């Protein structure tokens, strides 16, 4: 049998590639790891995982059907584990970038119960930023 270790990558079908690259690179600190422009695949490094962006007007994106929108998202949300989780700093930082984050709440994740907050990227995908679990 096999055991799942972590999330390897997620794939977001996107409308405005540049806005999404700007958000994930300039705001969240991902790096562009690999581009396959011929098929429309842009892979961003997010810690030990990848976030793949697939524009809906390019080869891979066209294969997935209609573009994401308010009435049909491709994903509920995904969670990025961040360290350190300094809530005041994170909220101020995001607001300085023009992003209105949700409230910090205690939520359960892969490592247990701990602080997290939600925000939306430029195409309204919900991103959860999660800190380490509360001390026992």
- pLDDT tens figures, 29-75: 999 999 999 999 999 999 999 999 999 999 988 887 777 776 666 77
CA-based R_g, the chain, Å: 16
Measured distance CA(106)–CA(116) in Å, rounded = 6
* pLDDT (0 to 100) of residue 80: 93
- pLDDT tens figures, 66-123: 777 766 667 778 999 999 999 999 999 999 999 999 999 999 898 889 999 999 999 8
Mean pLDDT value of segment 5-27 = 93
Measured distance CA(108)–CA(122) in Å, rounded = 26
Domains, the chain, with CATH or none: 9-130 (3.10.180.10)
What is the CA angle 92-98-100, rounded to 5?
Answer: 70
């Amino acid at each position: 049998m096999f055991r799942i270790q972590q999330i390897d990558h997620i794939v977001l079908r996107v409308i405005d590639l540049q806005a999404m690259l700007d958000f994930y690179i300039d705001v969240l600190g991902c790096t562009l790891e690999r581009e396959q422009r011929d098929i429309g695949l842009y892979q961003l490094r997010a810690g030990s995982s990848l976030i793949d962006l697939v524009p809906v007007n390019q080869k891979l994106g066209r294969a997935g059907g209609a573009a994401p929108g308010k009435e049909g998202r491709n994903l509920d949300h995904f969670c990025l584990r961040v360290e350190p989780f300094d809530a005041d700093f994170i909220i101020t930082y995001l607001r300085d970038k023009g992003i209105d984050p949700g409230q910090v709440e205690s939520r359960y994740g892969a490592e247990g119960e701990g602080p997290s907050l939600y925000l939306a990227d430029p195409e309204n995908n919900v991103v959860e930023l999660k800190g380490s679990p509360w001390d026992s």
